[in-house]
C-alpha cells in the first residue's frame, strides 16, 4: 500500500514504547515514513519515546505503541482529549487497553498478524524436532546411537492443535502443506466441524485429541476457561513418548502436572512460555534433558521486530485514507484473543 502524501492538516502522532525496542520497531526508514505522513511528537528515538508519556498525549490524535507503553487508563486518557486511534506495534493489547478506551470510541489496531508468522515458523520447527524425539535422542547420545527401530520421524505423525487462533491456523496450514502426511487434529469449541475440515484438520474433543496425538501444540488464548486447560487428567491421556509444545501462554498448561510427567521421562516438552515465567531457579523443568525451555522467543525477535513497525505504519496510512484497519481489535473480540 502506498502511503498518502502529507496533508496540510497533518494529525499529530505520538510514539510510546520502551527505549530499548524503539529503534528496532521504528528504525530510521520507518520514522521517515511516519514523518512524511503526520506530525510526530516527540520524534520516536531514544529514551524520550517513553519519558514524554503521558504529557505528550495532550496533542495526540494517534498513538503508536509497542512493548513498554503504559496502560491506557481513564486517568491517562483524560490527558489525551484528541486521541482517536491506537496502533499497537506488538501483539496482544490486553495489557494496554482499558474499558475507558472503548468508552471513548477510540479505534484500536494490533500488529498481531505480523507477529504470527515467526511464531508459526518456530512452532513448525519444534514439531519437526518433537517428531524425532530430539531431546530424548540427544540425551542418550553418549550411550551410543539408537537402533533404527527406536527412532521416529514425521511421516504419518498425529499432531493435535489446541486452539484455532491465527497462529493455530497458520500451523495447521504449514503442516498441511508438508509432504510428511501429518494427521492433524483440532480442538476448539468455537470452530465448526466444517470449518475445521476446511482448514485441513479433523475436529475432535480435547480428551480424544490427547489420546491420539503424538505431538500436542497449544495455541489457545489465556482466558478464565482455558487457565489450566491441559491438566493432569488430560496429560495422562497422552501416549508414552509424546511431546507437548507451548508457544501460547504458560498458564494454559498445568505446570505441576507437566513437570511430573516430564520427571518420569514419559513426555517431552518444548516450552517457550511457562507458568510462572520464568520458572524459579532450581525448578525441575530447567534441568530435565527431555525439556527445552526458551525465553519467550517464538515471536518477532531482533531485526524481525521491524515487521511490527511496518504493520503499524501501514495501518496509519489506512487510517489516514479512511480505509478499514486490517488489525482492528474490537471490545467484543478482545475477550477471545490472546
Phi-psi region of 60 (alpha: psi -120 to 50; beta: other; left: phi over 0): beta
pLDDT at 49 over 60: no
The answer on pLDDT for 38 being more than 50 is yes
Residue 325's domain spans which residues?
A: 12-110+302-334
Ranges 15-24, 152-161, 270-279, most confident: 270-279
- pLDDT tens digits, one per residue of 187-220: 999 999 999 999 999 999 999 999 999 999 999 9
Same domain assignment for residues 89 and 129:
no
Of 134-148, 219-233, 252-266, least confident by mean pLDDT is 134-148
Is pLDDT of 160 > 60? yes
The active-site residue, picked from 59, 61, 208, 277, is 277
Which pLDDT band, with edges at 50, 70 and 90, does 19 fall under? confident
The answer on pLDDT for 166 being more than 90 is yes
**Residue 263 burial (10 A CB sphere; 0-12, 13-18, 19+):** middle
**Residue 102 CB neighbour total at 10 angstroms:** 14
Percent of the chain residues topping a pLDDT of 90: 79
Quick check: helix, strand or coil at residue 252? helix
Give the pLDDT score at 3.
46
Mean pLDDT lowest among 59-63, 93-97, 106-110, 138-142: 138-142
Number of domains in the chain: 2
Choosing from 88, 133, 249, 307, which is the catalytic residue? 249
* Confidence band for 127, pLDDT divided at 50, 70 and 90: very high
pLDDT band at 47 (very low <50, low <70, confident <90, very high): very low
Are residues 271 and 213 part of one domain? Answer: yes
Q: 75-125: per-residue pLDDT in tens?
A: 999 999 999 999 999 999 999 999 999 999 999 999 999 999 999 999 999
pLDDT at position 7: 45
pTM over 0.85: yes
Tell me, yes or no, if 296 is annotated catalytic: yes
pLDDT at 292: 98
Q: What is the DSSP letter of 97?
A: B
Answer yes or no: is 283 within a domain: yes
Helix axes 166-177, 112-131, angle to 10 degrees: 50
Mean pLDDT throughout 308-320? Answer: 97
Looking at the fold, whether 129 and 216 belong to one and the same domain comes out as yes
Say if residue 157 is in the same domain as residue 285. Answer: yes
pLDDT confidence bin for 1, thresholds 50/70/90? very low
d(CA 167, CA 219): 7
242, 324: one domain: no
- In this predicted structure, the answer to whether residue 146 has a pLDDT above a threshold of 90 is no
**Under 8 Å between Cβ of 307 and 24:** no
Mean pLDDT computed over every residue of the chain: 91
In a domain, 142, yes or no: yes
CATH of the domain at 279: 3.40.50.720
**Selected catalytic residue, list 183, 296, 304, 326:** 296
> Are both 157 and 195 inside the same structural domain?
yes
Q: Which residues pair with 230 in a beta bridge?
A: 253
Q: Are residues 25 and 127 in the same domain?
A: no
Is the pLDDT assigned to residue 46 strictly greater than 80?
A: no
pLDDT in tens, 256-292: 999 999 999 999 999 999 999 999 999 999 999 999 9
* Whether residues 214 and 66 fall in one domain: no
Rounded Cα distance, 193 and 21, in Å: 42
Q: Are residues 152 and 176 in the same domain?
A: yes
Handedness of CA 19, 24, 29, 34 (dihedral sign): negative
Within a domain: 252: yes
Q: Which of 3-7, 8-12, 320-324 has the weakest average pLDDT?
A: 3-7
Per-residue confidence band for 6, with pLDDT thresholds at 50, 70 and 90 = very low
Is 249 among the residues known to form the active site?
yes
Residues 144 and 242 in one domain: yes
Q: Is the pLDDT of residue 319 over 90?
A: yes
Amino acid at each position: 500500500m502506498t502511503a498518502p502524501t502529507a496533508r496540510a492538516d497533518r494529525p499529530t502522532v505520538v510514539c510510546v514504547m520502551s527505549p530499548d525496542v524503539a529503534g528496532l520497531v521504528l528504525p530510521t526508514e520507518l520514522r521517515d515514513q511516519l514523518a512524511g505522513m503526520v506530525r510526530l511528537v516527540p520524534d520516536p528515538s531514544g529514551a524520550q519515546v517513553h519519558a514524554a508519556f503521558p504529557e505528550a498525549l495532550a496533542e495526540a490524535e494517534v498513538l503508536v505503541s509497542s512493548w513498554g507503553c503504559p496502560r491506557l487508563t481513564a486517568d491517562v486518557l483524560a490527558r489525551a482529549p484528541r486521541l482517536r486511534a491506537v496502533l499497537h506495534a506488538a501483539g496482544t493489547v490486553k495489557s494496554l487497553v482499558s474499558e475507558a478506551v472503548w468508552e471513548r470510541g477510540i479505534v484500536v489496531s494490533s500488529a498481531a498478524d505480523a507477529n504470527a508468522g515467526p511464531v508459526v515458523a518456530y512452532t513448525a520447527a519444534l514439531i519437526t524436532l518433537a517428531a524425532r524425539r530430539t531431546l530424548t535422542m540427544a540425551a542418550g547420545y553418549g550411550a551410543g546411537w539408537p537402533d533404527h527401530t527406536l527412532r521416529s520421524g514425521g511421516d504419518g505423525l498425529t499432531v493435535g492443535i489446541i486452539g484455532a487462533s491465527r497462529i493455530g491456523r497458520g500451523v495447521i496450514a504449514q503442516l498441511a502443506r508438508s509432504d510428511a502426511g501429518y494427521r492433524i487434529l483440532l480442538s476448539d469449541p468455537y470452530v465448526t466441524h466444517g470449518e475445521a475440515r476446511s482448514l485441513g484438520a479433523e475436529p475432535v474433543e480435547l480428551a480424544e485429541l490427547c489420546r491420539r496425538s503424538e505431538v500436542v501444540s497449544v495455541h489457545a488464548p489465556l482466558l478464565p476457561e482455558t487457565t489450566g486447560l491441559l491438566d493432569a487428567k488430560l496429560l495422562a491421556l497422552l501416549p508414552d513418548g509424546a511431546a507437548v509444545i507451548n508457544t501460547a501462554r504458560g498458564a494454559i498448561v498445568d505446570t505441576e502436572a507437566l513437570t511430573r510427567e516430564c520427571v518420569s521421562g514419559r513426555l517431552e516438552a518444548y516450552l517457550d512460555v511457562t507458568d510462572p515465567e520464568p520458572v524459579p531457579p532450581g525448578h525441575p523443568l530447567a534441568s530435565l534433558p527431555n525439556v527445552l525451555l526458551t525465553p519467550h522467543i517464538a515471536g518477532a525477535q531482533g531485526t524481525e521486530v521491524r515487521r511490527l513497525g511496518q504493520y503499524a505504519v501501514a495501518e496509519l496510512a489506512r487510517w489516514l485514507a479512511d480505509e478499514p484497519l486490517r488489525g482492528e481489535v474490537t471490545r467484543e473480540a478482545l475477550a477471545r484473543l490472546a
